């Protein structure tokens, strides 16, 4: 097998046994990036020299008997939302086009501490606002299964790079489905951990009560390996909980005997792509064959999830993005005569249309006289959605549903219709609103050969059951073995 097509587990086994050189592995993937990324645009910044230095250092450490674990010497991508010391961090925006942070995000630091080689910063929707990686200031990313289609978003660069073997895995973020939706559309595994499981320190904020970092990889086992490395308490993030982190690789079981899996009837929405519906139902039957007890459940407030999300997320974004004003860092517009003028011009020129749209939505929802009608009401509905899940989990161990209502759509197809675009996340948003762990895994292909994903949702901090269900299904099917021909 060619080196870029190895899984993290395969590569780390060979590296540990000193049968594979991290330097050789890194070189082979950098060559592939150079050859393929022009048409995919999965990276904003490629760190060729730094990556080769890290790989050389990893090789020397391993040779001298100082092996750090399964990510030592493994080349990974990193969504350009995580700050990286002395390395440009843009968040896909003109506003931060030349921003070089003076420190590392906790996720960045944990990957470095585990000996991983950071290949570069993956493309993304601007400030993580989008479902297609078309809002990036650095141009859209293409889906490796069909270059005329989107990879999903906002972690589209991470998903596309992973699927196209331009990294062995990546770490993205999920605010309303931004890991799971692109994972489904690109035919890879993507996991959003429980809110508070992974530190948000140094992860550029979009919606602080919803954002969570997680892995995108080619197998569930690889996801477990990265999750082990990035999880855990962080004194720099007060929302990151100090509870023990299990070894997720211990949850990789091959059957589902004794597990009860709930299928929410509300997730098979009207207008769902027939191929997606059929593949999802087949996957659920396969889980039943593996020993799971399948129960139909109801999550009655699902219909309000998108509406709730598009009040809470823009409100938090409007507050978080107030800091980008041209004063301390980032883009500053030229030719301003007054301070007020500088603010106006900087924000008008520095933000793209989608970011401006969400700032305006959020500012309106938080404004005097409207706060109770919108933001406060949305928070109350959020509680109802969370209560639906709490009620369901009294009877089931995990919930399984389609990840997206359709396969990857064409680039430009939804850019003129924001509502249509927002509905791309209709099945992933409830998980974020309730703060639950969720994973998307490949479960088939459409009639025109595009990937389809199914998601497994679990109880808070029960990533183990989510990984167990996902791995057992993956282990007994062949979907994860297929890669696109770029």
* Cβ contacts of 299 within 8 Å, gap of 6 or more: 264, 266, 267, 385, 388, 389, 392, 430
Tokens 């949305």 label which residue?
378
Residue whose pair of structure tokens reads 């183990």 in the numeric block: 464
Q: 25: alpha, beta or left, given left = phi > 0 and alpha = psi -120 to 50?
A: alpha
Nearest to 343 by CA among 333, 353, 351: 333
154 classed as catalytic: yes
**Are the C-beta atoms of 156 and 144 separated by less than 8 Å?**
no
Rounded CA-CA distance 372/131 in Å is: 28
Distance of alpha carbon 37 from alpha carbon 35, whole angstroms: 6
Q: Is 48 a catalytic residue?
A: no
CA 376 to chain centre: 28
User: With left for phi above 0 and alpha for psi between -120 and 50, is residue 105 left, alpha or beta?
Assistant: beta
Q: Could you tell me which of 396, 149, 165 has the C-alpha nearest to residue 297?
A: 396
Using a 10 angstrom Cβ sphere, with 0-12 exposed, 13-18 middle and 19 or more buried, the burial of residue 337 is exposed
Among candidate residues 136, 178, 318, 446, the one labeled active-site is 178
- Active-site position among 21, 93, 131, 154: 154
Alpha-carbon distances, residue 339 vs 26, 34, 74, 346, 352 (angstroms) = 47, 43, 47, 10, 21
- Tokens (6 digits) for 374: 């919108």
What pairing do the DSSP bridges indicate for beta strands 117-122 and 169-174? unpaired
The number of angstroms, rounded, from the C-alpha of 446 to the middle of its chain's C-alpha atoms is 22
Composition of the chain by helix, strand, coil, percent to 5: 45, 15, 40
CA distances from 231 to 313, 398, 464 (A): 24, 21, 13
- The CA–CA distances, whole Å, from 9 to 12, 92, 234 equal 5, 30, 27
Six-digit token pair at 447?
A: 């009639």
Annotated active-site residue 79? The verdict is yes
Catalytic residue among 9, 79, 110, 121: 79
**Residue matched to tokens 């900087």:** 346
Whole-number Cα distances in Å, 72 to 26, 60, 76, 230, 246: 12, 11, 11, 14, 20
Strands 189-192 and 117-122, by their bridges, are unpaired
* DSSP bridge partners of 82: 203
User: 33: closest CA among 25, 23, 42?
Assistant: 42
Q: Catalytic residue positions? A: 79, 154, 178
């Amino acid at each position: 097998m060619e080196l870029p097509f190895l899984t993290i587990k395969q590569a780390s086994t060979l590296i540990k046994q000193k049968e594979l050189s991290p330097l050789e592995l890194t070189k082979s993937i950098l060559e592939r990036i150079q050859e393929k990324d022009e048409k995919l645009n999965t990276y904003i910044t490629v760190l060729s020299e730094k990556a080769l230095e890290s790989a050389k250092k990893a090789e020397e450490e391993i040779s001298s008997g100082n092996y750090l674990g399964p990510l030592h010497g493994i080349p990974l991508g990193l969504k350009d939302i995580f700050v990286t010391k002395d390395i440009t961090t843009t968040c896909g925006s003109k506003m931060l086009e030349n921003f070089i942070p003076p420190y590392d995000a906790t996720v960045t630091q944990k990957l470095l501490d585990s000996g991983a080689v950071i290949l570069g910063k993956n493309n993304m929707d601007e400030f993580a606002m989008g479902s297609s990686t078309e809002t990036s200031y650095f141009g859209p990313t293409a889906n490796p299964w069909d270059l005329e289609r989107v990879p999903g978003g906002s972690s589209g660069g991470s998903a596309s790079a992973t699927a196209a073997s331009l990294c062995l895995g990546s770490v993205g973020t999920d605010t309303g489905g931004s890991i799971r939706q692109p994972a489904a559309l690109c035919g890879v595994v993507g996991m959003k951990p429980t809110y508070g499981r992974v530190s948000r320190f140094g992860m550029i904020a979009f919606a602080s009560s919803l954002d969570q970092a997680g892995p995108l990889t080619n197998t569930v086992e690889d996801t477990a390996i990265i999750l082990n490395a990035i999880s855990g308490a962080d004194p720099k993030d007060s929302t990151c909980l100090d509870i023990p982190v299990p070894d997720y690789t211990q949850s990789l079981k091959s059957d589902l005997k004794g597990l009860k899996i709930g299928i929410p009837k509300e997730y098979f929405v009207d207008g769902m792509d027939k191929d997606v519906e059929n593949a999802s139902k087949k996957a659920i039957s396969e889980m039943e064959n593996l020993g799971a007890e399948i129960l139909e459940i109801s999550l009655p407030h699902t219909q309000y999830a998108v509406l709730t999300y598009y009040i809470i997320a823009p409100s938090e974004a409007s507050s978080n993005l107030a800091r980008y004003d041209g004063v301390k860092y980032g883009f500053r517009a030229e030719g301003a005569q007054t301070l007020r003028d500088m603010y106006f011009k900087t924000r008008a020129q520095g933000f793209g249309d989608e970011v401006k749209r969400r700032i305006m939505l959020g500012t309106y929802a938080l404004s005097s006289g409207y706060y109770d009608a919108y933001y406060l009401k949305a928070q109350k509905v959020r509680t109802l959605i969370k209560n639906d899940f709490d009620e369901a989990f009294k009877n089931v161990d995990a919930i399984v549903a389609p990840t997206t209502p359709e396969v990857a759509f064409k680039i430009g197809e939804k850019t003129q219709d924001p509502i249509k675009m927002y509905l791309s996340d209709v099945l992933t948003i409830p998980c974020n609103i309730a703060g639950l762990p969720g994973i998307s895994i490949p479960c088939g292909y459409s009639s025109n050969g595009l990937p389809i994903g199914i998601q497994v949702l679990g109880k808070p901090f029960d990533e183990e059951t989510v990984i167990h269900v996902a791995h057992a299904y993956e282990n007994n099917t062949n979907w994860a073995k297929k890669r696109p021909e770029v």
